[in-house]
Amino acid sequence: MMDARAHGKSGGDMATYGWKERYDTVAITNALCFQESVRHLGALGVSMGAAIALQSAAVEPRIEAVVAEDPFANLREVSYDYGGLHFSPFLGKTLFRPATIYAVSGLSKAGGFPPDDVSPEKAVAARPFPVLLICGTRDHTIPCRHAEAIYSAAHGRKELWVVDGAEHASALGRSPAEYENRVIHFLESVLSGP
């Protein structure tokens, strides 16, 4: 397991929502493969961790599959959700648009990355890898339309599980047995082989 930069026990002054973290994942994969005999490698992430896992798989071919719960489709779109105070992205795109644009611009300048390239949606289009996307019908933080956009853009094997009544990052708590069955079945089916 890993902490993203500027989270948990990882260093760094700020998160870049996958722009730099995807290469942190490459470094971790290198270290793992140096220390262990790795036959198959999959990634599982929730929320920002899901977005990082998807972007990491686009640049790290040793990641064979990704399970992503509540990822954002791209940084700009999710900024509208956050700018709309988790009530409506329409507020983030209209009334609070100047603040949203200012925040994203400041973040990209401080982090040294182009905000439009922070995009799990582009990542799944760049490299076909199996992906299981999970979202909740009551998620107002990162609504299901993000997972649906990623699903539409994906070229590899893909599955979308919409969990009725689940809020943000709560699919496991909402339906633990089904969550376990779906994730294990998906990973077994895509990571089987030599």
Strands 65-69 and 131-136: parallel
Q: What pLDDT is attached to residue 97?
A: 87
Q: What pLDDT is attached to residue 92?
A: 85
Domain residue ranges of the chain, discontinuous segments joined by +:
49-191
Contact assessment for residue 165 and residue 174, using Cβ atoms and an 8 Å cutoff: yes
Q: What pLDDT is attached to residue 5?
A: 64
Q: What pLDDT is attached to residue 14?
A: 76
Q: Which CATH class is domain 49-191?
A: alpha beta
Closest by CA position to 18, among listed 141, 151, 128, 120? 120
Q: What pLDDT is attached to residue 8?
A: 73
Q: For the chain, list residues with pLDDT below 70.
A: 5-7, 193-194
pLDDT digits (tens, 9 = 90+) for 64-117: 999 999 999 999 999 988 888 777 788 888 888 888 889 889 988 998 889 999
